[in-house]
């Protein structure tokens, strides 16, 4: 017995819902619809004197996970905006939340969902 045998939605008698290609398409649509959004927290030094990516994060809808670029610091917050506030506590540094553009089906990018 393995984990699939114990899955609550698995039925031994159940036939496949559709063919392989159609099912692959359904999976791609599911992943595209539910994909988390990626963002960066960029720190601006003084007024446009310099900037660097301080952290990368993903917005999972009910929370955001953030990893510092320099390592050693990871956090879970209720939202990307909450994480941004934590990076806005240093004098002479302004933190910005920058969303990574999403790749569209034709290979282009989109700034929002």
Q: What's the pLDDT score for residue 22?
A: 94
Reported in sequence order, the residue ranges of 21-104 that DSSP labels E, i.e. its strands, are 37-45, 50-59, 64-68, 74-77, 93-99, 102-103
Question: How much is the mean pLDDT over the chain?
Answer: 86
1 — pLDDT class (breaks 50, 70, 90): very low
Contact 75, 66 (CB under 8 A): yes
Question: Which comes out higher in pLDDT, residue 109 or 32?
Answer: 32
pLDDT tens digits for range 59-69: 999 999 999 99
pLDDT tens digits for range 47-83: 999 999 999 999 999 999 999 999 888 999 999 999 9
State how far the alpha carbon of 5 is from the alpha carbons of 14, 19, 54, in Å.
13, 22, 44
pTM of the entire predicted model: 0.72
Q: Which residues contact 33 (CB under 8 A, 6 or more apart)?
A: none
């Amino acid at each position: 017995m393995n984990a699939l045998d114990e899955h609550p939605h698995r039925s031994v008698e159940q036939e496949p819902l559709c063919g392989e290609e159609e099912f692959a398409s359904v999976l791609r649509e599911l992943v595209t619809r539910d994909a988390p959004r990626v963002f960066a927290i960029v720190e601006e030094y003084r007024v446009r004197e310099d900037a660097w990516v301080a952290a990368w994060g993903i917005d999972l809808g009910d929370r955001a996970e953030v990893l510092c670029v320099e390592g050693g610091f990871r956090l879970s917050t209720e939202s990307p905006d909450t994480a941004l506030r934590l990076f806005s506590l240093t004098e002479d540094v302004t933190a910005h939340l920058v969303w990574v553009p999403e790749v569209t089906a034709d290979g282009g990018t989109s700034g929002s969902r």
